[in-house]
Each structure stands twice: as C-alpha cells, then as structure tokens.
Amino acid sequence: MPDQHRPRIATTRAGLRAALAGAPRPIGLVPTMGALHDGHRALLERARRENATVVATIFVNPMQFDNAADLAAYPRTEAGDLAICGEAGVDLVFMPGGDEVYPPGFDTTVHVDRLTRGLEGEHRPGHFDGVATVVAVLLNLAGAERAYFGQKDAQQLLVVRRMAADLAIPTEVIACPTVRDRDGLAISSRNVRLTPAQRAAAPVLHRALRAAEAAWRAGERSGDALRRAMLDALAAEPLADPEYVSVAEPATLREVDEATGPVLLSMAVRFGEIRLIDNLPLA
C-alpha cells in the first residue's frame, strides 16, 4: 500500500500561524464542523485543485448552535475526518479547542443584519452571529486567498460573503454545488442521526424542490403557488414536519410575491428531533 498522505495538525492560533508562515501561496481554506462526508470532500478536492496549500478547519462552533441538545448530539468523528483530509490531499488541519477560537475575555460578535432576518436566521436566533463571528476569526487567522463554502447552506454562503466584503477581509469566498446522495437527499452530518424510516422519508425535501422547479419551468412565477407546490409535496410524507418553505430573491433573500428574475427555493423540515435544510436556485 502506498503511504497515506497525513496532513499536519495545528490546535492553537499560534500553531496555525507558524505552520502557514512561508507556506506556498495561494492558500485555500475549507471551514467545517467535522463529521466529514462527501459534501465536505468535494470542497476539499476543489480547494486542492485550485491552491498550493489547503487548510481544513474542524471546529464544532458552540456560538452558532441555538439548541443545546443539537450541539451535544452533533456527531464527532475525528479519526475518519483526518482520513478524509488525508485522501483529499489537505496540507494542514486546524482543530482548535474552544479557548483558541474564543480566548478568555472574547467579547466581539459579528452581526450581518438584513440577510439574516429571514429563513434560517428567523428560525435559529443567534445562529448567523455565531457563524459570522467564527468565520471572521478563521479567515483572519488563516489569511487565505480563497475560502470554500457549500451552496447547501445558501444563506450562510451569502452571509459569509457579505461579512468578508464589509469587513474588508481579502479572502475570496467560493461557492461549491450541493452534493447529494443517489436518492436526492443533500448530504449532511445530521443525516446519520435519522432513523431508517426517517432516512427513507428524507428525500421528500428534494422531491418538493423539484416539484416547484417543474412548476417554474412550466411558467409559474407566483411565490405563493411555488411555495404551495413545495408544501403539497412535503404533505405526502407523514414523517416530514415542514418548518418553512421559501421562494426568495437570491441576492437579498426577501420573499417573492411575483418573480421577475431568478429565485432561491429553500426549506427546513423536521423529522422528529432532526432538522434538515435544502435549497435549489432557479434561473
């Protein structure tokens, strides 16, 4: 067997800075919360193709969890994560303890305002303050030329891009397409917590998005009609409990009455304790 590539590991701010001093440029950064899967792998592989140095960060960020049980239950799979980073050719994995990201006395919150009023921001109070704050810290620590984020978390992507532009952080934010299982379910670290019956039901999110897409392709432009198409499809699955469905302007995330341009379809759906999100941009 060939030697498996082993990434270096940094666990402190100082260790990360030291490891990156003199590293070949450009640097590509992939922030994650671990429990790595094929969605993360696609980000890592893209970063590998486009950069001389690839840094993955693995940090389950307590500040972005609005629900203590969700944080406690969040899967942690360190050995598997390092194996995936090795396979993807990652050079350095930053796995900080909480005190390294938020040292004692940490007293700053980054708040992106209008973009976080709807969708996930409305249903998960404080979530995007946690995301924007941790990503600002990570982008500043790594000083990367590029950072890679998944379209799977469409609102997060917009929030991070806005935050980096507004705070003059010179890292380019790059969007990567959503990776799905064969049955259409968007891959997520939370999928492993679904029961077999819930897992079998979960592709209904993608079916609902596709139902609204079919209406859109047939000329439907009414926001209410498109939202109804998604809700009707979700209603066919008794285990699915929709939290919201949305048809929004892709740049502002404001809900659309009558679409005059591209839209972003998105939704959050509960299966028991597990909350799944998905989205589909339409042009």
How far apart are CB 146 and ligand AMP at their closest, in Å?
A: 13
Question: For residues 55 and 11, is the Cβ–Cβ distance under 8 A?
Answer: no
Question: Of how many residues is the chain composed?
Answer: 283
Residue whose CB is less far from ligand AMP, 150 or 227: 150
Alpha carbon 85 to chain centroid distance? 17
The burial of 61, by beta-carbon neighbours within 10 Å (0-12 exposed, 13-18 middle, 19 or more buried), is given as buried
Residue whose CB is less far from ligand AMP, 139 or 179: 179
Contacts 24+ apart (CB under 8 A), 7-10: 7/56, 7/82, 7/85, 7/86, 7/90, 7/91, 7/92, 7/93, 8/91, 8/92, 8/93, 9/82, 9/92, 9/93, 9/94, 9/95, 10/92, 10/93, 10/94, 10/95, 10/96
How far apart are CB 131 and ligand AMP at their closest, in Å?
A: 9
- C-alpha span between 55 and 78 (Å, rounded): 16
How far apart are CB 43 and ligand AMP at their closest, in Å?
A: 5
Residues near ligand AMP (CB under 6 A): 32-33, 39-40, 42-43, 149-150, 152-153, 176, 178-179, 186-189
Question: For residues 192 and 80, is the Cβ–Cβ distance under 8 A?
Answer: no
How far apart are CB 150 and ligand AMP at their closest, in Å?
A: 2
Residue whose CB is less far from ligand AMP, 28 or 39: 39
How far apart are CB 138 and ligand AMP at their closest, in Å?
A: 11
The answer to whether the bond into 26 is cis (omega within 30° of 0) is: yes
Question: For residues 173 and 164, is the Cβ–Cβ distance under 8 A?
Answer: yes
| Residue closest to ligand AMP, measured at CB | 150
- C-alpha span between 230 and 179 (Å, rounded): 21
Residue 40 falls in the annotated catalytic set: yes
Residue whose CB is less far from ligand AMP, 12 or 77: 77
Residue whose CB is less far from ligand AMP, 129 or 153: 153
Q: Which of 5, 37, 40, 123 is catalytic?
A: 40
Q: Catalytic site residues?
A: 40
